[in-house]
Structure 1
Amino acid sequence: MKIAIAGSGALGCGFGYHLQKGGADVTLLDNWEQHIKTISEKGLTISVNGSKDNQEMDICRPHELKEKMDVIFVFTKSMGLKSMMESIEHIIGPDTKIVCLLNGLGHLKTLEKYINRKNIIMGTTVWTAGIDAPGHTHFNGQGPVEIQNSDPSEKEATIEIVDLLQKSGLNGEYSENVNFTIWRKACVNGTMNALCTILDANIEEVFATPTIDSMLRNIIKEFATVAKHQDNVTLNVEETISYLKSLADKVGAHYPSMHQDLNNNRPTEIDFLNGEVAEASKKLGLEAPYCQQITDLIHAKEAILGITTTKVK
């Protein structure tokens, strides 16, 4: 099976590494020149749950890959999805499957502009990752990776990818309700990522604060309201809080991706998380003051750092 990883940052490299170890023919796609050069010349150096390895891997810029792929995993930042899809249209065949594990909300609408809905597989992952230097990454977690086909007639093809993920040690699971999973993952990022970024602290530190229950409850209530109105997804607020606390215990002293982005002067995905909830609330005639305030605070930090942000869908 020929697989492309469209966006080979920390998570993309982690998935590409495991899929290749599992027997797939993997090509990493990225635009970071030093990252490409290092992996091409010295292989990918990766630490998986503390165990270090080096793996030779094919890597190039998106336009340099010429053959059609069987499966493409997209791991761009939310605001980079449109640009990436434009750059890989030439490797998408009539039967190519796109697996989208991006953080955030609203990505299916973007993907449908470039590929038939029957070939789109949506999902989530709770693996965490980071880049230590060009060509050097770390990858932590135990899964699961939950996916579901957007077209009910394509379940068999999705099951094949679930099997591939399982063989690769990525704990693939077929979801019967991926929209619920996506919204719950959005709650993870809309709380953990956003709060760690605003407070300049890791997950362990944030979840040890005396105000954590209040902060989580106020944010999740707004996510739950929009999820119900927009996608008929029911999020139990108290159950979601318990899930987040359990996840925080497992992850520990990790700085999430949004915090990493600001520390490296990169724009954040806040518009596709709390910002999406605030925007959707307005369209529905509702209010989401906590999500709006969080979005404004993150954008204020970006402005202070001189980071230009543009929401692209």
Structure 2
Amino acid sequence: MRIAMIGAGAMGAMFGARFAAAGADVVLYDRDAEHVAAISADGLLVTDPEGEKRSHLAATTSIDAIGPVDVAVVMVDSNATRVAAGALEAVLGPDAFVLTMQNGIGNVEALAEAFGADRVVGGSTYNSAARQAPGRILHSNIGETTIGELDGAASDRVAAIADLFRRAALPIVVSDNVLGVIWMKFVLNAAINPVCAVTGLRPGEVARTEPARHLLESLLDEILVVVAARGIALPSVDPRAEILDHAWERYNRPSMLQHVEAGQRTEIDALNGALLREADALGIACPFNQAIVLTIKSLEARTLARAASPDLDESSLEAVARANPRPAS
């Protein structure tokens, strides 16, 4: 099985290394030239609870250099899903398919729109990884991944991917409700990740810090109202308790926290931003989620502003501001 990891950041590179160790022919694709160069020169070093492993994998910054594949595993930031989909047609053979294990909602829909729902397999993962340096990945939590056909049917291709996960020593579940599983992960990420991003706290710290916990619970309660109104069947008897338990038990660095700390664009539009779009269509107010979206976008704007003007000249800026009164609202 020849696999292209589309988006070889922390998660994509980690999965790529595991799949290669299990016998797959893997090529990594990422736009980060420094990261790709480090992998090409010295291999990919992954540290996990079992120790360090160096994998020598093909890596490229060019879609055209990938060549035909049987499976494209899309792990790009949700902001880049449609762009990635537009470039993938050239490397997908007639029987090839796309697997997504991305965070957020809308990725499955974007890929199905590009390739047809019959060429898309959905997935959700509770593995955690972070990039420590170019070519160096920390696989901090070996968690469960769930995959399945979008229509809930059994298939040989899903069975083959599940077998690859088992050979890679990664926990795997095949579900007939993979869309519900994706929504469950969406609810968890939308409740926990932005709170970590704005506070700098890990999930376990959020759960033990009263103001942060209150913010998490307020976001979560609004999200669950929207999910119920949307008619989504979450695969949990008590999703609220399950998500609060998850926060209590975990001390990983969620991807949104990593992005804010690195001055990168976050996935807020695919998480709480997507929630607000769903809520608006249903006529449901979500003030806490609206506030968290505005806060994260303000942090993103700060990054751009500081990059353009790292040293603020207060006197000059204030003189210009006084000379140009604030426009009327």
TM-score when normalising by structure 2:
0.87
**Residues 224, 235 of structure 1: 8 Å contact kept:** no
Per-residue deviation, 1:90: 0.3
Per-residue deviation, 1:283: 1.3
**Residues 46, 137 of structure 1: 8 Å contact kept:** yes
1:108-127 equivalent positions in 2, closer than 5 A: 108-127=108-127
Residue 169 of structure 1 pairs with residue 173 of structure 2: no
**Among 289, 295, 299, the residue aligned to 1:291:** 289
Residue in structure 2 matched with residue 242 of structure 1 by the alignment: 241
Per-residue deviation, 1:300: 1.2
Residue in structure 1 matched with residue 250 of structure 2 by the alignment: 251
1:106-185 equivalent positions in 2, closer than 5 A: 106-152=106-152, 155-185=155-185
1:4 aligned counterpart, secondary structure: strand
| Cα deviation code 1:102-157 (max 9, x no counterpart) | 00011122102321211211110011111111101111223211011124456332
Q: Percent identity?
A: 26
2:59 aligned counterpart, secondary structure: strand
Which amino acid in structure 1 is aligned with residue 65 of structure 2?
A: L
* Whole-angstrom distance in 1 between the partners of 2:235 and 2:151: 23
**Residues 190, 273 of structure 1: 8 Å contact kept:** yes
1:122 aligned counterpart, secondary structure: strand
Q: Quickly say closer, same or farther: Cα 1:33–1:234, change in 2 above 3 A.
A: closer
* Whole-angstrom distance in 2 between the partners of 1:158 and 1:208: 39
Q: Give the number of the structure whose alpha-carbon radius of gyration is greater.
A: 2
1:166-245 equivalent positions in 2, closer than 5 A: 166-211=166-211, 214-234=214-234, 239-245=238-244
Residue in structure 1 matched with residue 264 of structure 2 by the alignment: 266
Which amino acid in structure 2 is aligned with residue 206 of structure 1?
A: V
Per-residue deviation, 1:259: 0.9
Q: Quickly say closer, same or farther: Cα 1:51–1:307, change in 2 above 3 A.
A: farther
* Whole-angstrom distance in 1 between the partners of 2:125 and 2:87: 24
Q: Quickly say closer, same or farther: Cα 1:22–1:113, change in 2 above 3 A.
A: same
| Cα deviation code 1:249-304 (max 9, x no counterpart) | 4432x221101101111111011111111121111111111111111111111112
**Residues 5, 12 of structure 1: 8 Å contact kept:** yes
Higher-RCO chain (CA-CA 8 Å, sequence separation at least 6): 1
Per-residue deviation, 1:85: 1.4
**Residues 128, 142 of structure 2: 8 Å contact kept:** no
Per-residue deviation, 1:211: 4.0
Residue 21 of structure 1 pairs with residue 21 of structure 2: yes
**Among 291, 297, 305, the residue aligned to 2:303:** 305
Residue in structure 2 matched with residue 82 of structure 1 by the alignment: 82
**Residues 265, 307 of structure 1: 8 Å contact kept:** no
Q: Which runs of 4+ in 1 moved over 4 A?
A: none
* Whole-angstrom distance in 2 between the partners of 1:50 and 1:196: 27
2:97 aligned counterpart, secondary structure: strand
CA RMSD of aligned residues (A): 2.0
Residue in structure 2 matched with residue 311 of structure 1 by the alignment: none
Which amino acid in structure 2 is aligned with residue 240 of structure 1?
A: P
Please, which moves more after superposition, 216-225 or 41-50? 216-225
**Residues 222, 277 of structure 1: 8 Å contact kept:** no
Q: Quickly say closer, same or farther: Cα 1:67–1:75, change in 2 above 3 A.
A: same
TM-score when normalising by structure 1:
0.91
* Whole-angstrom distance in 2 between the partners of 1:10 and 1:99: 17
* Whole-angstrom distance in 2 between the partners of 1:13 and 1:57: 10
* Whole-angstrom distance in 2 between the partners of 1:230 and 1:120: 23
Residue in structure 1 matched with residue 323 of structure 2 by the alignment: none
1:85 aligned counterpart, secondary structure: helix
Which amino acid in structure 2 is aligned with residue 59 of structure 1?
A: A
* Whole-angstrom distance in 2 between the partners of 1:78 and 1:307: 23
**Residues 70, 95 of structure 1: 8 Å contact kept:** yes
* Whole-angstrom distance in 2 between the partners of 1:263 and 1:217: 24
**Residues 130, 137 of structure 2: 8 Å contact kept:** yes
